Amino acid sequence: MALRVCRFGCASVKKINREDSLKKHFGILIFILWLAPSVRALEQKSLSEKLGEDYLSGQISRTLYLAYHLIAAENPEKLPAAYRNCPITHDICSTLRGGEARAHLDSASGAEKSLLAAALSRPDVSRLPLRLISPKGNFCLHFTTAGSDSATEAFVAEAARTFDYVYDLLIHEMGYHPPPDDLGGGGTPQLDVYIMQFSLYGETRFEQSVPGSNGQRYTSFIIIDNDFFGSAFKTQGVDALHVTAAHEFFHMVQGGYRYFPSTSMDSRFLFEASSVWFEEVAFDEVNDYLQYVQTFLNYPSNPFHVFSNTTYGLGLYMIMLEKRHHRNTIRRIWQGLYDQEPLPAWNAALAHDGEQIGLSLAHFAVWNGFTAGHADTVKFYPEADLYPPLTTKEKAVFMSTLVIEGNASELVTQYYCIEVPMGGVLQITPSLKRPADWMYSVAVYDPAKSDSYKITAGNGRQIVGPLSPGSELQLAITNISWPTFSYARNAQSFTFTLSAAFEQPSAEEGIYALSPAPFVPARDQFMQIQFILASAEETVTLYILSENGRKLIERELHGLPPGANCYFWDGRDANGLIVPSGIYLCHLRSDNKSWPLRKFAVMQ
């Protein structure tokens, strides 16, 4: 949804009472602006820039900073004179900023609290006196046919049909819970949509905590623009109405699962990634999401879980999940988020499909390499031929030996492009201090063969080739460790050595590494179970057994490719309990094969 991207102006939602943390983020904003070309100094500051500077300098409080942003979207003429003439750029993530403002309201006081409360309130009935109940009775649309907020009857009727459509699709067809009842907050029993002149495409405004939810679930209403026309709107008219309705209604539904300021870890990446994905599910022909794809593929190495200007591009990840697994996988993430933190909820949803976050991110890195000229719309993204090429961190040429050194923090992928002008067989050898924290993938672009890829865990070596002259590799190195909090930046270094090999060795099938050894769950989080398959397997069953053969867990792994594969075990048995110190066995079996057991130790 154009204009919802929260670029430089959107502060952290988490830890709202930590002023120092917030000012640190805005300090980065001001530094970026200072580095801009000198001509920027001659331009008038945008509202976001001006508010950010005044907040940093202490001229306005956090409460006023939030209130003025909300006022600017809905009633810009009510801004103080110092801000009234500042251009309102569309870098404001209104739903997320409104959610932050709602969470901040309890800590505000006096006249500033009253101002923020008024900014968060519903549009007045005198401004939007007319009502239309949608054909299926799900929504009440509030509008006017006079003045600057005027909307045509045809536009309102189309909005009513559109919101009914996305409701049926998301609730009745895809199985999500309906949004919480707002108990007649808009004067009718329906969910409320306010159509008015708005500085943004739309906003889902969280209103009241659902009784008994301990502040974890919220009712809401939606505000959308009254025509979606003008130079500021990248997607315009009815197309913009359609994707806005899909995006904002999913936000309304999300609030019934979890109000994002209530999670200890910032969960905004899940909110926006899944809402952008739902735009494509509901209105595949519009393709408003392509603007986010370009931003993401230009800057693909931001931490996956940290909200940034590339977060909206993570709709790509949800598109991948739907195609690799099922669209129900995304629904399971939201079901898990109901009472879990973001990463455990996400991981549990993937486990249902025989996968985990680390392996899923490794596949995501592969998919991101098959765009533009390397697009394969059958195997990977259905519209990958519309995407730009991925921007890699570095480009290098392999002749006989190549060493790649770098670092990555939690849930970050670093991408490298490697030209192989002479062809041949290459060996890739990682050197990692904590192998269980890493996965890497190699996408192979061979001019004489079909493109291919391989995924490897930890310090596992990978043989690539034989390659034709003029081949190219994309090496994607992913730190799969989980952060301890939202903005953790515990960068770990890596070294990958590429060297010439003379032939492709035939690897022995089965489990070839269990890392780390011994496995200490409290320290390591996961143990990587690395294994090799001679051919693709539809289903492989993995067992963890006690030393005397008692089954502790059984996991079905689906759709495994030939070559190196892995599974991450968290040290828990089938009841979710951490196993005690001791010796254990790991075993793999398919319908027609059984591989040798491997022993390993667990220490507490």
User: What single-letter amino acid sits at 535?
Assistant: S
- Tell me, yes or no, whether 458 and 540 share the same domain: no
What is the domain-level CATH number for residue 515?
2.60.40.4070
The answer to whether residue 334 is domain-embedded is: no
- Count structural domains, the chain: 3
Query: Which residue has tokens 């979890």?
Result: 258
- Tell me, yes or no, whether 459 and 535 share the same domain: no
Above 50 in pLDDT, residue 15?
no
The answer to whether residue 210 is domain-embedded is: no
Given 505, 525, 542, which residue is the final one in a domain? 505
pLDDT of residue 242: 97
Q: Three-state SS for 316?
A: helix
CA 485, CA 479: separation in Å to the nearest integer?
A: 15
- The per-residue DSSP string of 273-324 comes to HHHHHHHHHH-TTT-TTHHHHHHHHHSTTS-TTS-STTGGGGHHHHHHHHHH
Task: State phi, psi for 312 to the nearest 5 degrees.
Answer: -65, -30
CA 81, CA 102: separation in Å to the nearest integer?
A: 25
The answer to whether residue 45 is domain-embedded is: yes
CA 26, CA 9: separation in Å to the nearest integer?
A: 8
Query: Which residue has tokens 């032939």?
Result: 503
Is-cis flag, bond preceding 516, omega within 30?
Answer: yes
- Tell me, yes or no, whether 474 and 568 share the same domain: no
The answer to whether residue 291 is domain-embedded is: no
The answer to whether residue 345 is domain-embedded is: no
Pair of tokens at residue 481: 């460790």
- Tell me, yes or no, whether 418 and 458 share the same domain: yes
Q: Three-state SS for 13?
A: coil
Answer positive or negative: Cα dihedral of 6, 11, 12, 17.
negative
**Each residue's pLDDT tens digit, 390-448:** 999 999 999 989 999 999 999 999 999 999 999 999 999 999 988 888 889 999 999 99
CA 341, CA 326: separation in Å to the nearest integer?
A: 22
Above 80 in pLDDT, residue 18?
no
**Each residue's pLDDT tens digit, 321-367:** 999 999 999 999 999 999 999 999 999 999 888 888 998 999 999 99
Given 121, 148, 175, which residue is the final one in a domain? 121
For the CA atoms of 445, 291, 253, 154, the dihedral, rounded to the nearest 10 degrees, stands at -130
**Each residue's pLDDT tens digit, 538-561:** 889 999 999 998 999 998 888 777
- Tell me, yes or no, whether 531 and 420 share the same domain: no
Is-cis flag, bond preceding 518, omega within 30?
Answer: yes
Pair of tokens at residue 364: 């995501």
Mean residue pLDDT of the chain comes to 87
**Each residue's pLDDT tens digit, 280-314:** 999 999 999 999 999 999 999 999 998 888 999 99
The answer to whether residue 116 is domain-embedded is: yes
**Each residue's pLDDT tens digit, 107-127:** 888 999 899 898 899 999 999
What is the domain-level CATH number for residue 481?
2.60.120.380
- 443: domain range? 392-505
Residue 117 neighbours by CB under 8 Å, 6+ apart: 105
Look up the pTM and report it: 0.82
CA 52, CA 45: separation in Å to the nearest integer?
A: 10
CA 66, CA 44: separation in Å to the nearest integer?
A: 21
Strands (E), 433-526: 438-445, 452-457, 462-467, 471-479, 492-501, 510-515
- Tell me, yes or no, whether 547 and 494 share the same domain: no
- Tell me, yes or no, whether 8 and 113 share the same domain: yes
- Tell me, yes or no, whether 513 and 468 share the same domain: no
pLDDT of residue 458: 80
Given 490, 505, 520, which residue is the final one in a domain? 505
Give the number of other Cβ atoms within 10 Å of residue 429's Cβ: 14
- Tell me, yes or no, whether 442 and 466 share the same domain: yes
pLDDT of residue 98: 84
Pair of tokens at residue 273: 């990634």
pLDDT of residue 56: 92
Answer positive or negative: Cα dihedral of 348, 354, 357, 358.
positive
For the CA atoms of 132, 134, 135, 137, the dihedral, rounded to the nearest 10 degrees, stands at -110
300 closest CA partner among 394, 375, 365: 365
**Each residue's pLDDT tens digit, 211-243:** 999 999 999 999 999 999 987 788 999 999 999
pLDDT of residue 89: 66
296 closest CA partner among 273, 265, 267, 271: 273
The H-assigned helical ranges of 37-132 are 47-56, 62-74, 81-84, 94-104, 110-120
